[in-house]
Amino acid sequence: MIFETEGRQADRLAFERCLWEGGWRRVAGLDEAGRGALAGPVCAAAVILPSDPAIAEALSGVRDSKQMTAAEREAWAPRIRAAALAWGVGFASAEEIDSLGIVAATKRAAGRALEALSPPPDALLTDYLIFPESELPQIALVKGDRRSLSVAAASVLAKTARDTLMRQLDAQYPGYGLAQHKGYGTPAHRSALARLGLSPLHRRSFAFRP
């Protein structure tokens, strides 16, 4: 296992190339969305890009999802899915977050995303998470979504999948504004919580202050 702790990388396929050249051709980038939200699940995505440097041009607009607008993420998500050799998305519920803790729940969501990949990966690139239980070679990157195209692609799929789910859940739990803030602790969300109390979607283990 390699753990990359610091440094900057201009070539957003540098870590993929390192693994490709070592013989690992199905490198899965992993990232998550929703770890810091007060409500809703945490979502993880896994993306295996073709082991071809041309993929950088094909996905030239893909970067850390937090640096993209919602419209950009929604436009690029189907292009990522079409270009990927394989992709998968997994969720861990608010109940799982409360019982396991956010880190373990995030790893559970990531495991579900990896299980959805066909063909399966033979190496992992992650945004800081380490999976000691996995025998796959892995590189854990600080700010991996800014340094690896595979991880950035996963960040976009995780964010768009979770946003879509939160818009759907808004209809089931009206009044909280989930479609707007996606469960994060905005002033409007905290105001709604003060009026309505906690819904089944809210994470009881997260501190709430109206």
Please indicate, yes or no, if residue 23 is contained in any of the structural domains: yes
C-alpha distances (whole Å) from 133 to each of 16, 99, 112, 136, 147 are: 22, 20, 14, 9, 24
**6 pLDDT higher than 80:** no
Question: What is the domain extent for residue 128?
Answer: 2-161
Q: Under a CB-based contact definition with an 8 Å cutoff, are residues 189 and 37 in contact? A: no
Q: Under a CB-based contact definition with an 8 Å cutoff, are residues 139 and 125 in contact? A: yes
Give per-residue pLDDT as tens, 8-48.
446 899 999 999 999 999 999 999 999 999 999 999 999 99
Between 41 and 134, the higher pLDDT residue: 41
How far, in Å, CA of 51 to CA of 149, rounded? 12
Please indicate, yes or no, if residue 181 is contained in any of the structural domains: no
Give per-residue pLDDT as tens, 166-208.
999 999 999 999 999 999 999 999 999 999 999 999 999 986 6
Please indicate, yes or no, if residue 210 is contained in any of the structural domains: no
Q: What CATH number is given to the structural domain containing 105? A: 3.30.420.10
**122 pLDDT higher than 50:** yes
